[in-house]
Structure 1
Amino acid sequence: MTQQSADERPGIAAAIVVQEGRVLLVRRRVSEGQLSGQFPAGEVESGEGPEDAAARETWEETGLLVKSVRLLGERVHPVTGRLMSYTACEVIGGKAHVADADELAEVVWATHAEIPRYIPYGLFGPVQQHLDATLNR
């Protein structure tokens, strides 16, 4: 079932991909507020669940094949007002690169300590807890 926000726009699904002690972040060509980086993410399509959308968006944006492990949580984003879902994903193939050059400027694997440089205002609690538990410091 498609996740919808209060204004009926499709929800946004984000993939939290950790590999070798780093988390996958992307930098969009068009700035989104204070963000210089974010997780691979995009709209949930009709008939698609947030976990599947997170994996699909990761493939489309970075060329990295991932599978969803578990939904970490959902919230209405405090800035955009969109319903956001966050899914922990595991890499099953490929090498991360800018696969969608129209949308992305850069793909980075960030350490735990580097996350605030890309996402300066902090992370959604369940995502922060997941990264605290899975990233090597």
Structure 2
Amino acid sequence: MTEPTAAERPGIAAAIVVHENRVLLVRRRVKEGQLSWQFPAGEIEVGETPEQAAVRETREEVGLTVEVVGSLGARVHPKTGRRMSYAACTVVSGTAYVADANELAELAWVALADIPGFVPYGLFEPVQTYLDDALGKRRPQH
């Protein structure tokens, strides 16, 4: 039996979690190609919507309970070839920590201006637009 191609494998749901003017990024223990830092994400299970998968993966990976506030679209990821869905999320409860130490090495709450240092190849345009809107309008507090 042959390994399924990237397009045949289950889709991946990513949670774009914004909290206190920062977005949550996680660093995987094992890179996926150039991907090191990324959004909490994982495979969509049978019977799940992409939004339900994003909520579940966030809870499993970083211990946060989040709710989806909108869909940011889908694409075939240019680096991995996997089908990706993106969900905008807000924190309902919990404090983020590395809940799945087998998968994650660390996490970071990242300001808009610092994202390119974590994700140098750029973000999916609808995600970038959402983050520009959600994080870019507020002025830093001193």
Common fold: TM-score over 0.5:
yes
**Amino acid in structure 2 at the alignment position of 1:104:** L
The two structures have a TM-score, normalised by structure 2, of 0.89
Whether the aligned pair in 2 keeps the contact of 1:35 and 1:118 (CA below 8 Å) is: no
Q: Does 1:36 align with 2:30?
A: no
1:119 paired residue number? 119
Q: Which residue of 1 aligns with 2:25?
A: 25
Deviations, residues 58-113 of structure 1 (Å, cap 9, x unaligned): 00000010011111100011121111000001100000000000000001000001
Secondary structure of 1:105's partner? strand
Aligned partner of 1:108 in structure 2 is 108
Aligned to 2:92: 92
1:79, 1:108 → 2: CA distance? 22
Aligned residue runs from structure 1 range 54-65, under 5 A: 54-65=54-65
Question: SS where residue 54 of structure 2 aligns?
Answer: helix
Q: Which consecutive residues of structure 2, in runs of 5 or more, have no partner in the other structure? A: none
8 Å Cα contact 2:25-2:107 kept in structure 1: yes
TM-score for the superposition, normalised by structure 1: 0.93
| Percentage identity across paired residues of the two chains | 68
Query: What secondary structure is seen at the aligned counterpart in 2 of 1:36?
Result: strand
Match of residue 45 from structure 2:
45
Aligned residues: 133
Structure 1: 5+ residue runs without aligned partners? none
1:75 is aligned to: 75
How far off is 1:12 after superposition? Answer: 0.3
One-letter amino acid matched to 2:33: G
How has the CA–CA distance of structure 1 residues 107 and 6 changed in structure 2, closer, same or farther, with 3 Å as cutoff? closer
75-84 vs 5-14, greater mean Cα deviation? 5-14
Q: For 2:6 and 2:27, how far apart are their aligned partners in 1?
A: 27
Task: From the CA coordinates, give the structure whose radius of gyration is larger.
Answer: 2
User: What is the identity, as a one-letter code, of the residue corresponding to 2:89?
Assistant: C
Report the RMSD for the aligned CA atoms in angstroms: 1.4
Displacement after TM superposition at 1:7 (Å) = 3.5
Judged with a 3 Å threshold, the aligned counterparts in structure 2 of structure 1 residues 6 and 107 are, in CA distance, closer, same or farther, namely closer
| 1:110-133 CA distance string (max 9 Å, x none) | 000110111110000100000000
